[in-house]
Amino acid sequence: MSHPLDDSVDAYLDHLIEIRRVSAHTVAAYRRDLQAARAWLAERGHTAWPYVTTADLREYLAHRHRGGAKPASLARLAAALRSFYTWQMRQGRVEANPASDLRAPKKPAKLPETIDVDDLSRLLDAPAEDTLEIRDVALLELFYSAGARLAEVAGLELGDVDLVEGEARVIGKGNKERRVPVGRKAVAALERWLAVRDTLARAETGALFVSQRGTRLSRRSIAARMERWAVAHGLPVHLHPHKLRHSFATHLLESSADLRAVQELLGHANISTTQIYTHLDFAHLAKVYDAAHPRAHGAAEDDDAV
């Protein structure tokens, strides 16, 4: 028995609401997606869902894509169609799922934001006037020197940092340990912090960075103090720990172009994750080219000489 385009969508939405208890937001989004797909298919002469093919659905996604739909919206549409057809198969309304291999265009990777070297230097060279600021500068220097993640720095113990060797032991994703560099300026900042740390830290606290209460400084507090320092010293962009990690990777690649080394330093399991920084480096080069190359802006002004 063929089921018309008109009744299956409404029955499926009732199933989402009454049986699966899906959120009202998701139901509303699926309703819009499926009703729009049904209208488009009906305009093209389709009368029943079993006769819709994978090619039909791909054509519809392409139609939406040409109309300006964003990748996230197309991904949700594809998911709605897959789920809808899965339900229809369980109900015996269709024999196959033409949406099973339906995939939306990938969302373009967003390039990580970084901080200009000069802006960052001014921020890190700003003088610290009290114990908390000495700690905050040590944090900033360590993030930028090591390219470490927020959780990695927040979890550091006193014994994890070797200032003589200029390195720190961090525990990254998957509980994997790695050693990260601690540069000369970061070593100096940490030495200043360690000289005053005991005025805040409780005796039983082994954390490298502690709060005013003497306990381990939380991730949230680290991020808040970092942003406070940036605002106080006029940094023109928002600052958070991951932006310093991005800046670390980008500035290294601009100088060395050694992608494998940066992968190791960042603790990336797959080099494809690190390769995003090569795209950012090219974007930087393209910006420099556009600003400097005499032929980058169209027709150049006529020279006096012939």
* 3-state secondary structure labels for all residues of the chain: CCCEHHHHHHHHHHHHHHCCCCCHHHHHHHHHHHHHHHHHHHHCCCCEHHHCCHHHHHHHHHHHHHCCCCHHHHHHHHHHHHHHHHHHHHCCCCCCCCCCCCCCCCCCCCCCCCCCHHHHHHHHCCCCCCHHHHHHHHHHHHHHHHCCCHHHHHCCEHHHEECCCCEEEEECHHHCEEEEECCHHHHHHHHHHHHHHCCCCCCCCCECCECCCCCECCHHHHHHHHHHHHHHCCCCCCCCHHHHHHHHHHHHHHHHCCHHHHHHHHCCCCHHHHCHHHHHHHHHHHHHHHHHCCCCCCCCCCCCCC
The residue from 149, 216, 243, 251 that is catalytic is 149
Whether residue 82 lies in the annotated active site:
no
pLDDT at 98: 94
Q: How many CB atoms lie within 10 A of CB 69?
A: 17
Whether residue 268 lies in the annotated active site:
yes
Write the CA distances from 47 to 41, 54, 60, 100, integer angstroms.
8, 16, 16, 21
Complete domains list, the chain, with CATH: 5-90 (1.10.150.130), 117-290 (1.10.443.10)
Q: pLDDT 10s per residue in the chain (306 long)? A: 445 576 789 899 999 999 988 888 999 999 999 999 999 999 998 888 999 999 999 999 999 998 989 888 999 999 999 999 999 999 999 999 999 988 877 666 665 677 778 888 888 899 998 999 999 999 999 988 888 889 999 999 999 999 998 889 988 877 888 888 888 899 999 999 999 999 999 999 999 999 999 999 999 999 999 999 999 988 888 888 888 888 877 767 665 555 565 565 565 555 554 455 555 444 444 454 455 544 444 443 443 333
pLDDT at 90: 93
pLDDT at 111: 57
pLDDT at 6: 66
Whether residue 240 lies in the annotated active site:
no
pLDDT at 270: 58
Whether residue 173 lies in the annotated active site:
yes
pLDDT at 70: 87
Whether residue 149 lies in the annotated active site:
yes
Whether residue 76 lies in the annotated active site:
no
